[in-house]
Amino acid sequence: MRTINSIKKSKAQTPLVVITAYDALFAALFNKKVDMILVGDSLNMSFNGAGDTLSATLEMMLYHTKAVCKGAPDTFVIADMPFGTYTNEQDALKNCSRVYLETNAHAVKIEGGMERANIIKTLTCNSIAVVGHIGLMPQFVRSEGGYIVKGKNEQEAQKLIEDAKAIEAAGAFCVVIEGVKAEVAQRITEAISIPTIGIGAGSQTDGQVLVWSDAFGFFEAFQPKFVKQYLDGADLVKNALDAFVHDVQTRKFPASEHTY
């Protein structure tokens, strides 16, 4: 099982593998197979059917994090802090403490760069392990007017590098880089000594994360360019459901071997 220390030592080694999970069932499938599981607030879209992550609540995240920790007791679990739960140091400490008090998560993740450095410092000084998140930050979708890829010019690249340095200095042990031009993600990775975990950020980060329902083809609403689909999950389920419907309607199920 990974620890903060072994994750930090993974800088520039074999890439770290991170996948999201929202429930005990899938967490159990991922247990021991990946370096970290992220209980992402993306669950608000794929699991809860909302249009973005913003209406995810702390209660939702606590519920799902508890379930994931039960399903994957041997894997390092990160709980995403939802929108509005870390707007100032006091709220951040209170709400992140609830994650440690009420779940077995090992770390929390918060979105934002240098403007969140004080918050990250308050958390890390109070023994809470923090993962940063920079670049395309889904919690900024409304204030930025969409999901906008970052690092498209030198000014943006410099800002991202400064953000990553501020997050590292504040005590975060790794940082997610989302939706950033590959060469800029590489420059960020080279500029800091904590591991970077990329999503839509090219191949040169210290690890990769994917949302499980994207990677396994269950989320059909849209498919971002950066997702590689490893399974046609939705088709498999729909075909299996068709077979079940057919068997029930034709009285093929239950057969004698399913009958007491």
Binding residues for ligand KIV (CB under 6 A): 20, 38, 40-42, 80, 176, 178, 199, 209, 211
Q: Which tokens go with 193?
A: 């000594």
Distances (CA, A) of 243 to 216, 235, 238: 21, 12, 9
Nearer to ligand KIV, 34 or 176 (CB): 176
> Which residue among 59, 144, 168, 178 is the active-site one?
178
Dist. CA 145–CA 72, nearest whole Å: 36
Q: CA–CA separation, 107 vs 7, rounded Å?
A: 12
178 is catalytic: yes
- How many angstroms separate the CA atoms of 111 and 131, rounded? 9
**Nearest-angstrom CA–CA distance, 144 and 50:** 18
Of 40 and 207, the one with the shorter C-beta distance to ligand KIV is 40
Residue 227 identity: V
**Closest distance to ligand KIV from the beta carbon of 47 (Å):** 11
Q: Give the nearer residue to ligand KIV in terms of CB position, either 171 or 207.
A: 207
CA distance 135 to 138: 9
Q: Give CA angle at 46 (227, 151), nearest 5°.
A: 45
Q: How far is the CB of 139 from ligand KIV (least distance, A)?
A: 9
**In the complex, least distance from residue 40 CB atom to ligand KIV, rounded to whole angstroms:** 2
Query: Whole-angstrom Cα distance, residue 126 to residue 26?
Result: 31
**Cα–Cα distance measured from residue 178 to residue 107, given in angstroms and rounded to the nearest whole number:** 19
Nearer to ligand KIV by Cβ, of 157 and 219: the residue is 219
Measured from each CB, the residue nearest to ligand KIV is 40
Shortest CB 119 distance to ligand KIV, Å: 17
Residues with active-site annotation = 178
